[in-house]
Amino acid sequence: MAGSRLIIIGVSGPSSSGKSTLGRLLHHVLPKSFILYEDDFYKPEEQIPIVNGELDWDCPEAIDFVMLRSAVDYVRTNHCLQDGLYSKEDKNALGKPPVTLEEADEIKKQIVGQNSEVDEIKFCIVDGFLLFIDEELTSKLDVKLLLRAPYESLKARREARNGYATLEGFWQDPPGYFEKIVWPGYVKAHKHLFVNGDMNGDLTEAAKAQDIRTASAIDLHMSDLLRWALKTISQEVNKP
């Protein structure tokens, strides 16, 4: 096992909520960090469930959670990603970042200050839209950040995307995919985390007991989300 301290950060939220942008900004400001993408654990296309006549890439059954949990365990033990773990996610463009790297560095300086300990810790940032529906996986994460945004904003963002790299090539959403597949699937998988299943409401006591932290990706600018994330991470760093 590596000698340095390791903190595993889960960054989750619905499709197009800004989780990958936040994850990449955290990767930039935390010098000894690396990213593990849930999307690299999709099952082969022939195993993806079909819903309403369309491939459903947004359901839990599309992800190989056994392999994902194993990858997180490997990170916990070895403080690095598995050799040969190929990621296709860098092929997926996120558009112009709402926060420049220079601004991100300044935000880190404001939040973390001269805490050199942060720069010596290894951080694994786990990026995925289903991180908190699998209790075993959730329990393996030290910091749990959940972004939220209203339906219409998420729909507009998702539909503005050109598509996604997959193991087999490239995927583009067919018409109506967000309202028929993406959003209903996200709600079904996550409603147990919210009081009365209200996706814009409060977290349940059970979700709070798992130390899941949530913030609005619409009410807050990405710079504010980065501050929130760094403050939460700093709390974990400063635990006795």
pLDDT at residue 90, as a whole number: 59
For the chain, helix (H) and strand (E) counts, in that order, are 10, 9
3-state SS, residue 71: helix
Q: How many angstroms from the chain centroid is the CA of residue 189?
A: 15
What share of the chain has pLDDT > 70, as a percent? 90
At 171-208, the pLDDT tens digits run: 788 899 999 999 999 999 999 999 999 998 999 999 99
**pTM exceeding the 0.85 threshold for the entire prediction:** yes
Active site members: 39
Q: Is the pLDDT of residue 136 over 80?
A: yes
- Residues 38, 152: contact at Cβ < 8 Å? no
* pLDDT tens digit sequence for 140-177: 999 999 999 989 999 998 888 766 666 566 678 889 99
* Domains of the chain and CATH, by start: 6-237 (3.40.50.300)
The pLDDT mean for the chain works out to: 89
72 burial class (0-12, 13-18, 19+ CB within 10 angstroms)? buried
pLDDT(115) > 70: no
- Which of 63, 49, 15 lies closest to 163, judged by CA? 15
